[in-house]
Amino acid sequence: MKIAQHFRAFLERYHYLQLARIGRFEVVGENPIVSENGESGKWIAFVANKNQPEDRQLVEFISENMRVESCITVSDLDSFINSLKELLIQGFEVEIPGVGFLHFEPNNILKFSGKNLYKRTIQKRWKRTPASMSPSFWL
């Protein structure tokens, strides 16, 4: 089940997203930094909490949207969170679709970012192909 696709809709509707054993994301206003396209997005605050309880409202929201029983949603959320935690422990940055990225900083501090910290934008340049390597040579 693709439960993660419902996180953004839940966050926009209720202005928070609480993931068990991870923490709480909360919309706290407009982002003071304007993006490249001139828009300012929502500012999302994150508080890590490894004792964060399960959010029944999130379970009900996903269950209604997916038209499945809540026990299935709970199981899928648990599986998603376990996978997320496993990747974080291995040192990877993980994406919460539609929300942002989580990663561990030194001293095991869980941090949230709206952007992927490790992905560099690389400008592609046209390569000049030598005549001897031209595709027409091989045709």
Query: Does residue 121 surpass a pLDDT of 50?
Result: no
C-alpha to C-alpha distance for 88 and 79, rounded to whole angstroms = 14
User: Residue type at 136?
Assistant: S
Kindly state the average pLDDT of the residues 9-22.
94
- Burial class, 100, CB count within 10 angstroms (exposed 0-12 / middle 13-18 / buried 19+): middle
The answer to whether 42 and 29 have CB atoms below 8 angstroms apart is: yes
pTM of the model: 0.72
Q: How confident is the model at residue 139 (pLDDT cuts 50, 70, 90)?
A: very low
Check residues 124 and 96 and name the one with the higher pLDDT.
96
Query: Does residue 138 surpass a pLDDT of 50?
Result: no
Q: How confident is the model at residue 21 (pLDDT cuts 50, 70, 90)?
A: very high
61-113: pLDDT as tens digits: 999 999 999 999 999 999 999 999 999 999 899 999 889 999 999 888 999 98
The pLDDT, as a whole number, for residue 24 is 95
Check residues 37 and 92 and name the one with the higher pLDDT.
92
